[in-house]
Chains A and B, each alone.
Chain A
Amino acid sequence: MRESSVILFHSSNYAMWAVDVLNKNNIENKLIPVPRDLSSDCGYCVMVGYDLIAQAEEFLKRENIEFDRIVDLK
Chain B
Amino acid sequence: MTKISRLKNNTIYFDNSATSFPKPPAVVDAVVDYMTLVGANPGRSGHRMACEAGKIVFQARKNIAEFFGVKSPMNVIFSSNATDSLNLAIKGILCQDDHVITSSMEHNSIIRPLKMLEDRGIISITVLPGDDSGIISTGELDSAKKNNTKAVIINHMSNVTGIVQPVAEIGKWCKKNNMIFILDCAQSAGIIPIDLKSDSIDMIAFAGHKGLYGPTGTGGLIISDSFDVRKMNPLKEGGTGSMSDKTVQPNFLPDMYESGTLNVAGIAGLSKGVEFLNNMPEKLKSVQLHKVTLQKYFIEKASKRIDGFKSYSASSGFGVVSFTIGGLSVSEITQRLSDDFDIMSRQGLHCSPLAHQRIGTFPEGTVRFSFSVFNTIYEVETALEALKIIRDGK
A interface residues, Cβ below 8 angstroms from B: 10-17, 19-20, 31-34, 40-44, 64, 66
Contacts and interface: CB of A to CB of B under 8 A. Distances in A.
Dominant secondary structure at the B interface: loop
A34 B46 contact: yes
B74 A17 contact: yes
13 contacts: A12-B43, A12-B242, A16-B54, A16-B58, A31-B51, A33-B45, A33-B46, A40-B244, A40-B245, A42-B45, A42-B244, A43-B45, A64-B72
A41 B54 contact: no
B73 interface: yes
A31 B58 CA distance: 14
Closest 9 CB pairs of A and B: A33-B46, A11-B242, A16-B58, A12-B43, A40-B245, A44-B46, A31-B51, A11-B255, A16-B54
Contacts of B45: 33, 42-43
Contacts, number: 74
Dominant secondary structure at the A interface: mixed
A12 B245 contact: no
B252 interface: yes
Interface string B304-325: 0000000000000000000000
B58 A42 contact: no
Contact of A10 (B42, B55, B252): B252
Interface residues of B, number: 27
B74 A14 contact: yes
Contacts of A40: 244-245
Contacts of A33: 45-47
B74 A10 contact: no
B250 interface: yes
Interface of B: 42-47, 50-51, 54-55, 57-58, 61-62, 72-74, 240-245, 250, 252, 254-255
A10 B250 contact: yes
Contacts of B254: 13
Given A12-B42, A14-B74, A44-B51, 17 more contacts: A11-B43, A11-B241, A11-B242, A11-B255, A12-B43, A13-B57, A13-B74, A15-B54, A31-B46, A33-B47, A42-B45, A43-B43, A43-B46, A43-B50, A43-B241, A44-B46, A44-B50
**Among A13, A15, A16, A43, residue most surrounded by chain B Cβ atoms (within 10 Å):** A13
**Among B46, B72, B244, residue most surrounded by chain A Cβ atoms (within 10 Å):** B46
Given A16-B55, A32-B46, A66-B252, A41 B62 contact: no
Contacts of B51: 31, 44
A20 B62 contact: yes
A42 B74 contact: no
A11 B252 contact: yes
A41 B245 CA distance: 7
Contacts of A31: 46, 51, 54
B268 to A, nearest CB: 14
Contact of A13 (B47, B58, B244, B245): B58
A31 B243 CA distance: 18
A22 B210 CA distance: 34
B244 A41 contact: yes
Contact of B44 (A14, A16, A43): A43
A70 B72 CA distance: 22
A33 B51 CA distance: 9
Contacts of B74: 13-14, 17
Nearest to B255: A11
**Among A14, A19, A34, residue most surrounded by chain B Cβ atoms (within 10 Å):** A14
A33 B62 CA distance: 23
Contacts of A42: 43-46, 241-242, 244
Contacts of A11: 43, 240-243, 250, 252, 255
Contacts of B57: 13, 16
A13 B62 contact: no
A16 B245 CA distance: 21
